[in-house]
Structure 1
Amino acid sequence: MQSWIALFIDQVKATTLLEWLAVIFGVAEVILAKANKVWLYPTGIVATLISIYLLLNIGLYAECLLNGYYIVMSFYGWYYWIKKRDQPAVKVSYANRQEWIITLLIVFGGWGVLYLVLVSFTPSTVPVWDAWVSSTAWAGMWLLARRKIENWVLLNVSNLFAIPLFYHKNLAMFAVLTVILFIVAVFGYFEWRKIAEPLTP
């Protein structure tokens, strides 16, 4: 246990300014998401751009692809959330059957495709784990963009597996950020349920 604590302290000491910035913007993003604020998207885009650079340097290639996907989905979500000229803003709701089918296709189809890409085209040392973390997060981001309550569940499945992955790759602050994201996502899930309940017929 002491060796793990010592390793963590060493990793924190070695944390770069870019890692701190990615963590700060990442925390801000999830807090804004929990509060159901559209500003989560520009904040998240900044955190994501920094993360792509850092993750590429340590060989988490699926995570880089995931973050590229985050950027695309952030712009999509930003647009989707904004109140259109003659339409009300999108309300928080539960995913329907069709959305669940799409979600599961993203999770398992994405996992398989990413694994094949990683083992075929990259020197990844953790292809199964990296692909799983990314595919579950892909599904969560899709649900978040559509303001579906279940986004928090999928994002936390990803977070749960990402924590040891980041620690394994000596990204201590990314692991700490992911723990924070996990905790906030739990509260976010229950808050969004409260928002949706009065709207449920």
Structure 2
Amino acid sequence: MFEFFFSQYKDYQTYDVVLEIIAVFLGIASVWYAKKDNILVFPTGMVSTFIYVYLLWKWTLWGDMMINFYYFTMSIYGWYCWTRKKGDNLEFPISVISDTEKRMSLFIFIFTVAFVVAVYLYFNKFNTWYAYVDTFVTGIFFIGMWLMAKRKIENWVFWIVGDLVSIPLYFAKGLTFTSFQYIVFTIVAVYGYLEWKKTLNSSPADLKKL
């Protein structure tokens, strides 16, 4: 059993494995803080994604590297949004997605998928089955991160879908620890949605329509 899950690590350098484990723990911490609607979601996530950018660049997993670079930059934007206030009230409270944001989400998905396809074609990376899945997952995660930065409850739906797909995807890529991380991500994302839903239901009606 151990050989089945971890044999791919025999050719990895020790410090890369250690870095992946650190990134996994910080990634789980980040999702947990997101579930709790805690601003620490961003600094923990930024360190985790910074490590993954390095590792994925080294392992030439371009789609995953772009996802994590995007997470890093969007974390800066999300950190800014979550700290904004109008008087004593948050400028971006937990709310539902608007029609304009739905259209923007569709645009983000289409643009992201097209961009990743172009990159993979340029570097001739469509040589495995999971390279094709990468294009879809990248678009899903880009929407999820953007909606989380805007504190939209629907972000959890996109995280859940992307996380479920990523569990076998990362295992196939030889990143077993990261695959296990996405199992935890999926569970926390479900509870995150339920917790944000509870907060939203207890909010004033005008906030729900933002």
**What TM-score, normalized to structure 1?**
0.90
Matched, 1:7 2:35: no
Instruction: Give how far 1:146 is off.
Output: 0.4
Q: Which amino acid aligns with 2:156?
A: W
Which residue of the partner structure matches residue 86 of structure 1? 87
Greater shift in the superposed pair: 120-129 or 49-58 = 120-129
Q: Which amino acid aligns with 1:57?
A: K
Q: Which amino acid aligns with 1:181?
A: F
Q: Aligned residues, how many?
A: 198
Which residue of the partner structure matches residue 111 of structure 1? 113
Matched, 1:35 2:32: no
Instruction: Give how far 1:63 is off.
Output: 1.0
Contact 2:31 2:41 in 1 (8 A): yes
Contact 2:9 2:174 in 1 (8 A): no
* d(CA) in 2 for partners of 1:67, 1:196: 29
* d(CA) in 2 for partners of 1:8, 1:127: 21
**What TM-score, normalized to structure 2?**
0.87
Structure 2 residue ranges without an equivalent (≥5)? 206-210
* d(CA) in 2 for partners of 1:148, 1:159: 18
Structure 1 residue ranges without an equivalent (≥5)? none
Counterpart selection for 1:185 from 174, 182, 189: 189
The 5 Å alignment of 1:99-138 reads: 99-125=101-127, 126-138=130-142
SS at match of 2:202: helix
Greater shift in the superposed pair: 82-91 or 20-29 = 82-91
Greater shift in the superposed pair: 185-194 or 125-134 = 125-134
SS at match of 1:95: coil
Matched, 1:77 2:86: no
* d(CA) in 2 for partners of 1:87, 1:131: 41
Instruction: Give how far 1:109 is off.
Output: 2.8
* d(CA) in 1 for partners of 2:95, 2:123: 39
Instruction: Give how far 1:162 is off.
Output: 1.3
